[in-house]
Structure 1
Amino acid sequence: MEERPDGFEDAALIAALADGWGLTVRAVTYRPVGFGSYHWSVRDDGGTDWFVTVDDLDRQDGPRDDTFAALDRALGTALALRQDAGLEFVVAPVPTRSGAAVARLDPRYAVSVFPTVQGEAGRFGPHRPTDRAEVLDLLVALHRATPLAGARPARADPSLPDRAGLHDALTALDRPWTGGPYADPTRRLLAGRADHVRRLLGDFDRQVAHVRAGASGWVVTHGEPHPGNLIRHPAGLRLVDWETVRLAPPERDLWLLTHGADDADDLLRRYASATGRPVDPTALAHYRLRWELADIAGYVVELRGPHGTGADTAASWRYLNGYLDAAP
């Protein structure tokens, strides 16, 4: 996130790190990276650097306690994958002094601590051709590690987040939206693409029924293994941001590897050969479409509601245009 969280002071973070991890902080610097969580670089009094993430528990629907429990379960899964399954590419959280994967900073915010990984960070978009084979091997290893994750990972919900908000927006296109400076421009943009979005929702509903029918044999998936969540470490790729880890069809990960790749068919054949599991093209299409619709729904709900003119809001408007301007 480019903007710091509202009303959040570094002193609160420093106190949480001392209490939860026993860290005495020498320097703390906000890092305007990523989307969805807030990040800091921290150096302790011993000269060790840490990467610290703060999650706003109000960013998700539902009670804060439920959101925190889901985050704790996901990061606990990452910890198990690193410690119990021995997956070195998993950049797992550093446990608190009590062994927890994440701590409550205050009623609204949660904090987690990660080792600083040296290397070249990727950018969101298609995987580089030179990386695809290694990413495939990484996903094969992750999916095979499912038995070692035990009961920790939650099952992914294949339904669409913010579906109700998108539905409400589609039924309110005939009157002005007043949530903020981008609200009515969002209404006009969506109005011009409403039929397209409704068609996508129909396709999604048919696909999600298919995915639900095959809910046995799901595996541990990262959920967002795109280049922006990969770091090129001297010893190989490292995968970060495990908040989205869930039990799901393997296609939840595979579509991000193969989308736009000229060797997609070969990669999928290699996955099937390595795992003994053929790839389901309908599930692959479902997770690609789910990503697009979840972004559209999330941005519409955000920009229809109360908002200002900050950099993160401007980014949401830009990304929404990217999806809807490309619509036929």
Structure 2
Amino acid sequence: MTLANEPLVTIVVVPRERFSCAQRSLESIYEHTTLPFKLVYVDGNAPFKVQQYLKAQAEEKSFHLIRTDYYLYPNQARNLGLTHANTRYVVFVDNDVIVSPGWLEALVQCAEETQAAVVGPLMCQHEPLHTEVHFAGGESHVWVDSTGRRRLREKMYQQGQKVAELRPRLQRQETELAEFHCVLVRREVFDRLGFLDEQLFNTKEHLDFCMSVRQMGGTVYFEPDCVVTYVPGPPLELSDLHYYMLRWSDAWTLGSLHRLRDKWNLAEDGYFQSKYKKLGWRRYGTIIEPFVRWLTFGAGNRFLTRAFAKVEHYLNRFLTDRHIRIQQQVRQQGFS
């Protein structure tokens, strides 16, 4: 494969759930990427310290920085970045992803050799970096049961497996699913599909996108020679807390699930019921339970945990209602 001097790729970095990993993530991109690229960074209301860091880096490295003074839905942030991408490929990267050497070359080579519309990497999770599999391709499609109900099939391959044990057996292959933690997309895909669906506020947007791509005849590939890791975790700083709570709010999750259900005419089956029962599990496990353990000097207390969860539920509703008002004001200003 011959690569032109003009970049083939625009990397679009967007917030995922917090901002405290942003510097580490961006530095890994510049350290481990040798293929020419353009970079668009969407700063969706990052706290002041991160905001100043990104501003300085944008000036030093000459990338395009998009700043908003309000928090963004993930697809909203991706669409903002997409408007500034005019290269053959767009690579979306969350701001808590750490890449490894050769990551971008492997994604582009796969797309060039297979003509894939979408290419996803060997996605790892947690630390130490690049050691535990989060996602190695998967399934995402609608199937019809014996009663005629349309139901969703979602499966992520090899989650939790050790990379060292699994990697020798992995091969490039066509798959049904790639995640937005890190994914390469041909820019022309958006000429046909339009922008990403912003009514999928915080979850399952990758299912919707990959099914839409495959529905129009495009292919999705898994490329194990690209290895990246997303570093999930609780909000590490107080300045992360607001966005984290909003990002995983009950309202955003319910809205996303209902949008997916209605858009694909899916039955309200066990798949959705299980998701409804687990509303708020991230906030519960990463904010409420650790806070109660801190209050009780590590002992924990079920009664206190439930009490704080109830209070947090009302706070969460307040935050999402407030965000709706802010979004409405932004739209009104845009039309004025």
- Asked whether the two chains share a fold, i.e. TM above 0.5, the reply is no
> Could you tell me the TM-score, scaled by structure 1's length?
0.30
Larger proportion of strand: 2
